[in-house]
Every structure is written in structure tokens, then in C-alpha cells.
Structure 1
Amino acid sequence: MQKFAFLVHLRSYAKDLGRVVPPLGWIPDSAYRYALRNRPLPPIVWSNVTLTKDSTEPEGYIIMLPYSGRQLLEQQKTMLPRVRQAMELAASKGAGIMGLGALSSSITMGGKLIADNPHLSVTNGNAYTSVITHTKIVNLIKKVPGRPVVALVGATGSVGALVCLLLARHHAEADYILVARNERRLRKLADEMKTINDKVVSVVSMSMQEVIHADIVVLLTSSADCILHAGHLKANAIVLDDTQPRNSDPVLLKQRPDVTVIDGGLVKITHLKTNKIGRLGLPPGISFACLAETMLLAKAGYKGNFSIGNPTLDQAEFISRLADRFAHLGFGIAPDHSFGMPL
């Protein structure tokens, strides 16, 4: 096994800031952004990581960019050098591959802008995220009576597009609403799904208002904002939020107690251990699928870049086989959580 690194950033609001600079505690993202304007902060090792039982030496590292997701999106050009610094830091710790967490993937075009770096290999983690999300959607479809309608918001993104193709290849027992901002890309994706399986029924929309027709809503965007609101959802809808930063807010559950919100893209890794501050807001033994993909590749000694830009169906099948190979460590869908709390 080679060592791995995983790149993260502060959440939408700087809730983690008190762990970086304890006297400051929690401050809103807007104030944090103002205080740090034009102040380059170096990446730091946020946590050591182990995933095998009785391991005493770090098998990987979580590297933190001390900026919020909105800062990454708004200051992409100045953030790219910070990402490269993080890669140098990871390599200095002995990592052979680095995964791109949350919006660090978006600002690097899914790893395309840093794939030629001399320091270590890269994966954006989206192949295994797509596999886990697809599996979860299929499980939810089976629980809804009749032929449910599934809305995929952010359908043309790196994860969304592969999830759609996996649904077309393996499961057509639902009708699909594909939601994104680019109509041309939406129609192309719908045509690809139809080519894979002519039984697939899908409509495309550039409006969130179409989501109200869905029994299951899957959030897959790279937005740093909460874009899903109470008025978007039909009665008793199920929401699978696969985004980081999240596109849903806990207030939704108070406004719509009939709605179920499930945290998406979560994987159970039985013996996963991090420093307490490095849990990324997750319960013990639970990992994001993008981090799990990085771990699987490192565990298998994979050489070279893996998931760059949009992952493929072949990559989804490859990472699924690796998950089966290391199933003794976990690498399966985590128990359902909602905003970090067990359901």
C-alpha cells in the first residue's frame, strides 16, 4: 500500500475556524472572507488517517486549505497555487496519490488543471462517489411504490453525469428529471441515457421548479449555496444530498416535517481513524466516498492519475471491483444519516 492524502477546505461557514485558531471560535463565512482577503494561508496537515485494524503508523493524511468553499470558488486563480502547495506538502509526507475533496475538485476542473504536476498522482474521487450514489438511488427507488420520479439536480456535472449513465445501464424502473444550467449538455446526456437503454424515460429542465414532480430528489451540484427550499418539494419527498458544501439546510426539516433528507456519498470503513478534528463532520467509521476512492487506490498500489474530469463507466466498474476486493475493511454504503445524525 502507498500512502495517500486527501484535500479539504473549511465548510461553507467557518465552523472549523475555532479548531484552527481557538480564540476566534465560530464566525460567519462573510467575516472570515473579509479578514483573509489578499492573505495567502498555507495548507496544513489537518489529520493523520488509518483504515486498517491495529495500524500504528499513518496510512494517509487529510490536508486542509484554510479557506471556505465560497472563497475557493470566488478566488479560483489565487487558490490554484495553494492546491499545488498542498500537493507538495502531501508528497513531503510520503503520499503517492491525493484525492480532491469538495470544491477543490471543482476549482481544478476535476483535477485537469493539476494532473500534470510532478509531485504525486491525483483523483477527484467522483467514480466511487457515483457508484455509491447510484446504489443508494436504486435502493430508494425500490422503497417507493409504483414507478417513481427521480430528479437529479446537477445532472451534467462530473458525478451527476456518471450517476445518470449508471442508472441507464443498470436500472430503468423510474422516470428521470435531469436538472442543470446548460440545456445543450442536458439534452446530450438524455440522449446518451437513451442510447444505453431505450427504456429510459427522462425530461430535461433548467429550472428547480420541476423538482416538485419528483418522489426522490438527488442533489449533485458544485454550488456553495443552499439551493433546495421547502417550496421545491412534493409531499413526502425523499432528498439525497450528495453535495459538499451542502445544497440543503437543516431548517428544511422544520419547514417540511414530511420530507426526509439523507446525507449522500457516505461510506462505512470499519476501522477508520482520524484525529478528532479530522472527522470532517462525520461520525466515527464513516467516510466520504471521494476519500474512500483515494484510500482504495492507495491500498491497491494504483499508479498514475485515476478519475480526472468526468469519470467513465469503466472507471466506475474498476473502483467497484476494488471495493469488493477490500470489503473486509468496509467500503460499503454507510447507515443512513441526516445532517450528520443517524436516521
Structure 2
Amino acid sequence: MFGLIGHLTSLEHAQSVARELGYPEYADQGLDFWCSAPPQIVDNITVTSITGQKIEGRYVESCFLPEMLATRRIKAATRKIINAMAHAQKHGINITALGGFSSIIFENFNLSQVRQVRNVMLEFERFTTGNTHTAYIICRQVEQAAKQLGINLSEATVAICGATGDIGSAVCRWLDKRTDVAELLLIARNQERLQNLQAELGRGKIMGLEEALPQADIIVWVASMPKGVEINPAVLKQPCLLIDGGYPKNLGTKVQYPGVHVLNGGIVEHSLDIDWRIMSIVNMDVPARQLFACFAESMLLEFEKLHTNFSWGRNYITVEKMEEIGAASVKHGFSPLLI
């Protein structure tokens, strides 16, 4: 059995979803209540591969909300993720994906040091961040959407915003080794990590955001949007492909301009309908078939009976592992969302 640990995008979103899912006691509560709310299994899932194989899964709502980070309720945020992991393990789930902020919080607050959650000794091999599949799908979106727009990769400049993160660095490695992209622009806050990545790749220009964006034919955004930072679409090339790999995905509403094509990054479409209701709640355009690639990774690992933390830690994603999960993705009927 596979599992998905997720969360909603805001307090308002959480209240409306609680009402829709039949949890009226959650629907009118404020942030303090959500800080103490326990994790819940709120959906049972059946996925059928194009091979005919069927698997069962569970969706675990962690009850984490991004406002917990914004209002300095850090302990509540970290507790949410650890408790959701323990809840999944206690219910016998073999491999569970940490979706959205779950994996970021786990890494940034070093939650791997927390092994015991009440009477549950966490077995981290039961969990995956899903980042390898996400990185693979974003790279395939770069390749395929560029072709749709008539952008020749061999002549293109690709800017990666968040280049030193787990997904961003993996995208850089793939584009360097598996494509003929003409130029990589590396953008991130930590200069030391940028220099290390540049040395690893043996290429790539380290640039600031304002300098890099007007030069890019393709922008891969896999970083959080700093407060006060906005993209001026008028300075971007036309055509320009902007892949929004962040969460929540909001560049499509912030950047609207002729010739600038915004694509929701890290989203896959399944060939067959999935029996679930949770994706309609997170506002997928085709909820029976579309989902986050990180969630799909746990499904793929269950299909392949690879009950292991396939994606774990920071900056350990190799091109070979991306190819491995990519082959499983194709085999079982997943494809990248395109324009």
C-alpha cells in the first residue's frame, strides 16, 4: 500500500475543504485549532496501471498550513509532519510520499533526528520526498514544451531559479548531461552552493534574478518567491517558457503577458482515471487524472515493489535515478503535463 502526506494551501482553503469532506468541527476553526488538530486519513485511492496492475493507497492530511511558518509556529509545523508520518506508518503503509511543504520542512528542520513519535519508531525507508520524479517530469516538460513553442534547446538559454535546491540541482544535472541546452543560468541565494554546483557541472553562469530573466528562453522556477519580488513579464523574451515548479503554483496568475507561456511544473497526467477525490480539492484541472509528480513517485514505487526512500536527503538525486523512475513512470502510464 502507498501513502500520500499532503496539506492545504491556506487556512481559508482548509476550512472550505473540511466542510466539503464532512469535518464540520474543523470548518469554522482558526489557526490555533489547526495547530493542534491531529493527522487524518481522508481518502482511499485505487490506481490502475496501463499494464493492468492495480494498487491501493491512502491520503493522509497532515493539517499543516503555510500560515504556521509565517506566524512563527515552527514547532507546530514540524510536529505536523512527524505526526503524519507516524500516522501513515501505524496504518501499515509501505511507502509514503511527503508532498508540498512536508519534505521541505523535514529537510530544513533536520527532522531525521526525530526517530520516536509516542509509541512509533519511525522507519524512514517507508518515506520518499518524491523529488526525483518531480525533477524528471520538470526536465521532460522543458524538452517537450520547448518543442511545442518552437524553442530550439541547442540555441536556448535556460535559467534555473532555485538551482542549488534538491530539485533545482537535479534539473541542472539532467539538462547538462541529457540535453544539448546551449546555456544554463544558475540562480540561488547561497553563493557557496552556487559555486559548488557550477564546479560540479563544469558550466553555467551564476547570476542574479534581474540580470538572468531577460536573457532566458526558458525559466524553471523551483524556489520560493521572496516577499516583495515580482517578475516583470515585459522584460522577458517572446516566446518564453516559464515552468512553475513551486507550491502553491501561482505564477500563472502573476505573470500574464503575450508570448510568455506559464506551465505548471512537476504535474503529471495518468492515462486512466484514478479513483480518488482529493485532487479535485487541490484544484487540478482534470482531477481524475492529474496529480503532483511527487505523489506519483510513491505510486510508482508501490507498482514496482520498491519500498524504499528512493528520494531522500538533499542534492543526492542522480541522472541515473531520474532515468530509473522515469522509465517506471512511462511504463505505468504517467506523462508530463504540457501546454
Q: TM-score, normalised by structure 1?
A: 0.80
Deviations 1:218-264 (A, max 9, x none): 110145869552346333321111111225141422xx133110111
Amino acid at match of 2:222: L
Q: Tell me if structure 2 keeps the 8 A contact 1:223–1:247.
A: no
CA pair 269-110 structure 1, distance change in 2 beyond 3 A: farther
Cα deviation per residue 1:7-66 (whole Å; 9 max; x = unaligned)?
11111563343120359xxxxxxxx99643784111122322211169999711121122
Map 1:42-191 to 2 at 5 A.
42-52=38-48, 59-72=56-69, 74-109=72-107, 113-114=111-112, 117=115, 118-120=121-123, 121-142=126-147, 143-145=150-152, 147-191=155-199
Range 63-72 or range 238-247, more displaced: 63-72
In 1, distance between residues paired with 2:271 and 2:227?
A: 32
Q: CA deviation at 1:332?
A: 2.4
Choose from 15, 18, 35 the match for 1:20: 18
| Distance (whole Å) between structure 2 residues aligned to residue 326 and residue 176 of structure 1 | 26
Aligned partners of 1:156 and 1:186 also within 8 Å: yes
Alignment check: 8 A CA contact 1:122 1:304 kept: yes
* Alpha-carbon shift at residue 326 of structure 1 (Å): 6.0
d(CA) in 2 for partners of 1:46 and 1:227? 36
Partner-residue secondary structure (3-state), 2:36: coil
Q: Is the 8 A contact 1:141 1:174 kept in 2?
A: no
SS of equivalent to 1:60 = strand
Checking the alignment, whether the CA contact within 8 Å between 1:84 and 1:114 is kept in structure 2 is no
1:299 pairs, out of 285, 297, 303, with 303
Aligned AA (2:218): I
Structure 2: distance between partners of 1:148 and 1:318: 26
2:10 & 2:211 partners in 1: Cα distance? 24
Instruction: Give 1:238's match in structure 2, choosing from 237, 241, 247.
Output: 241
Q: Which has the higher helix share?
A: 2
The amino acid across from 1:168 in the alignment is D
The alignment partner of 1:150 has SS state of: strand
Distance 1:185 1:173, change over 3 A: same
| Offset from partner CA, 1:58-93 (integer Å, 9 cap, x none) | 711121122332424643332222212212221233
Q: Which runs of 5+ in 2 are unaligned?
A: 22-27, 116-120
Change (3 A) 1:35 1:333: closer
The CA deviation at 1:4 is: 1.3
Distance 1:133 1:209 in 2: 23
Distance 1:229 1:9 in 2: 27
CA distance in structure 2 between the aligned counterparts of 1:80 and 1:322, rounded to whole angstroms: 28
User: How far did residue 289 of structure 1 move?
Assistant: 1.0
Q: Percent identity?
A: 26
Matches within 5 A, 1:143-292: 143-145=150-152, 147-194=155-202, 200=203, 202-223=204-225, 227-231=229-233, 233-246=236-249, 248-253=251-256, 256-279=257-280, 280-282=282-284, 283=286, 284-292=288-296
What is aligned with 1:331?
Answer: 334
CA contact 2:135–2:170 (8 Å) conserved in 1: yes
Change (3 A) 1:93 1:57: farther
Per mean C-alpha deviation after superposition, the further-off stretch among 130-139 and 115-124 is 115-124
Aligned partners of 1:156 and 1:180 also within 8 Å: yes
User: Which one-letter code corresponds to 1:293 in the other structure?
Assistant: E
For residues 212 and 71 of structure 1, do their structure 2 counterparts lie closer, same or farther at Cα, with a shift above 3 Å needed?
A: farther
Structure-2-length-normalised TM-score: 0.81
Is the CA contact (8 Å cut-off) linking 1:14 and 1:68 kept in structure 2? no
Gap runs ≥5 in structure 1: 24-31, 195-199, 337-342
Q: Give the C-alpha shift of residue 285 in structure 1.
A: 1.0
Deviation at 1:129, TM superposition (A): 0.9
Contact 1:226 1:246 in 2 (8 A): no
Change (3 A) 1:58 1:153: same
For residues 109 and 304 of structure 2, what CA distance do their matches in structure 1 show? 21
Query: How many Å separate the matches in 1 of 2:109 and 2:56?
Result: 22
Aligned length: 319
